[in-house]
Amino acid sequence: MMSETNSSIQSTTGRAAPDFGADVIDGKAFAANLLQRIKQDVADLRATTGEVPGLAVVLVGEDPASAVYVASKRRETLAAGMNSFEHRLSEETTQAELLALIHRLNADPAVHGILVQLPLPGQLNSDAVIDAIDPAKDVDGFHVANAGRLAVGQQALVPCTPLGCVMLLKDRLGNLSGLHAVVVGRSNIVGKPMAQLLLQEDCTVTIAHRHSRDLASITRLADILVVAVGRPEMVKGDWIKPGATVIDVGINRISRHGKTRLVGDVDFAQAGHAKAITPVPGGVGPMTIGCLLENTLEAFRRARAPLLKSMKKVS
Ligand code: NDP
């Protein structure tokens, strides 16, 4: 996954021509409001319980992009008034050492959320590491227990990116019931949970992938089109039904006219006949950290439910 935080990247949000008909969904502004609300909730919890949620982030190795993501997560966690616990481990960390840390964080009552920054160095098995995280603290929503709960409609911690996409869609469209949603991409972190969430909203859901035949004829059926493939500007204008709402999850760095910039999986300039579309950058990307903190707050509330309940009775 590529971050949107690289300042050398030229914004493409200004590409919308004056006659561009679609509303451009401002994920940055939505995320800022979300973070503000989380900050207020944390302040209220501190006032009533004397406690605040704590998020532990584990970074193994020196990958510069990962270091940037971890730094911005820490900054936003602290800005929301939560505790941030950062664990930086050397590139040579063994599986046993990493698992020992996860077990310590699982047992630490001050830690309500655990995030292991991916990808991990080659000697480490990320599936085994994610499996070791207590599902109640799995704020990335990657543990099979959370994926399974989401699939069967039980209370789960949901992966942050699709959670952010659904928030943007509900804000824009209100009730999603009965709409035909097409999700292009079936990864465990975006496509599959996205499809599950849309199903929970009573959408009719189609999932497309690399082997889908005549993809354009499938995407043209969508009232809601979510694209998460990692292919720059793959979805062209005539793949989009007039009036559709388009969520572009892709983040792709390209070089054009001697400049580097980020583009999505949708050819934004050709999407003016959509009802609304998320730009890249500035659409889905900014929502992800907000949803991570939302999940951490939720994990805290579930962990401290007995305390919160007893305080409610007293007041
Ligand atoms: P993955 O590589 O894990 O999955 C890509 C999916 O796209 C696969 O299911 C693949 O199908 C499908 N796909 C690839 N090529 C095609 C094609 N030509 N036609 C149809 N389907 C295709 O990627 P992620 O889900 O992790 O990420 C997708 C994009 O979203 C990336 O650009 C990533 O950077 C971005 N992203 C953005 C985030 C944000 O915060 N905005 C967060 C996470 C990701 P198959 O399964 O058949 O191989």
Q: What is residue 9's predicted lDDT score, i.e. its pLDDT?
A: 32
Instruction: Check pocket membership of 221 for ligand 1, CB cut-off 6 A.
Output: no
- What is the H or E stretch that residue 19 is in? none
Q: What is residue 3's predicted lDDT score, i.e. its pLDDT?
A: 56
Taking Cα atoms as reference points, which of 36, 260, 291, 272 lies closest to residue 189?
A: 291
How many Cα neighbours within 13 Å face the side chain of 183?
23
Q: What is residue 315's predicted lDDT score, i.e. its pLDDT?
A: 58
Ligand 1: atom nearest CA of 190 is 25
Q: Extract the runs of DSSP E, i.e. beta strands, from 132-232.
A: 180-184, 204-208, 224-227
Ligand 1: atom nearest CA of 265 is 32
pLDDT tens-digit series, residues 223-264: 999 999 999 999 999 999 999 999 999 999 999 889 999 999
CA separation for the pair 80, 95 (Å, rounded): 32
Q: Determine the 3-state secondary structure of 220 from DSSP.
A: coil
Instruction: Check pocket membership of 185 for ligand 1, CB cut-off 6 A.
Output: yes
- Those residues with Cβ within 8 angstroms of residue 71's Cβ, 6 or more apart along the chain or in another chain: none
Instruction: Check pocket membership of 218 for ligand 1, CB cut-off 6 A.
Output: no
- By annotation, the residues acting in catalysis are 73, 117, 140
Taking Cα atoms as reference points, which of 111, 112, 107, 117 lies closest to residue 70?
A: 117
CA separation for the pair 185, 192 (Å, rounded): 8
Homologous superfamily, domain 159-286: NAD(P)-binding Rossmann-like Domain (3.40.50.720)
| CB 73, CB 293: distance < 8 Å | no
Ligand 1 center from residue 281 Cα (angstroms): 16
Parts of the chain belonging to CATH 3.40.50.10860? 52-134
Instruction: Check pocket membership of 249 for ligand 1, CB cut-off 6 A.
Output: yes
Ligand 1 center from residue 187 Cα (angstroms): 6
Question: Looking at residue 121, what DSSP letter applies?
Answer: P
Cα Rg of the chain, angstroms: 20
pLDDT tens-digit series, residues 183-226: 999 999 999 999 999 999 999 999 999 999 999 999 999 999 99
- What is the H or E stretch that residue 261 is in? strand 259-263
Q: What is residue 309's predicted lDDT score, i.e. its pLDDT?
A: 78
Phi, then psi, of 115 in degrees rounded to 5: -130, 125
Ligand 1 center from residue 103 Cα (angstroms): 31
CA separation for the pair 52, 44 (Å, rounded): 9
Is domain 52-134 classified as CATH 3.40.50.10860?
yes
Question: Which residue's alpha carbon is at the smallest distance from atom 48 of ligand 1?
Answer: 210
Instruction: Check pocket membership of 203 for ligand 1, CB cut-off 6 A.
Output: no
Parts of the chain belonging to CATH 3.40.50.720? 159-286
Q: What is residue 19's predicted lDDT score, i.e. its pLDDT?
A: 81
| CB 157, CB 295: distance < 8 Å | yes
CA separation for the pair 136, 275 (Å, rounded): 38
Amino acid at 70: V
Q: What is the best residue among 5, 68, 233, 249 to mutate for testing ligand 1's pocket, by most ligand atoms within 8 Å of CB?
A: 249
Ligand 1 center from residue 233 Cα (angstroms): 13
- Number of helices (H) and strands (E) in the chain: give both, helices first: 10, 11
Q: What is residue 15's predicted lDDT score, i.e. its pLDDT?
A: 53
Question: Which residue's alpha carbon is at the smallest distance from atom 22 of ligand 1?
Answer: 210
| CB 265, CB 252: distance < 8 Å | yes
> ∠161-165-166 over CA atoms, to 5°?
120
Ranges of residues in the chain with a pLDDT under 50 are 5-14
Ligand 1 center from residue 190 Cα (angstroms): 8
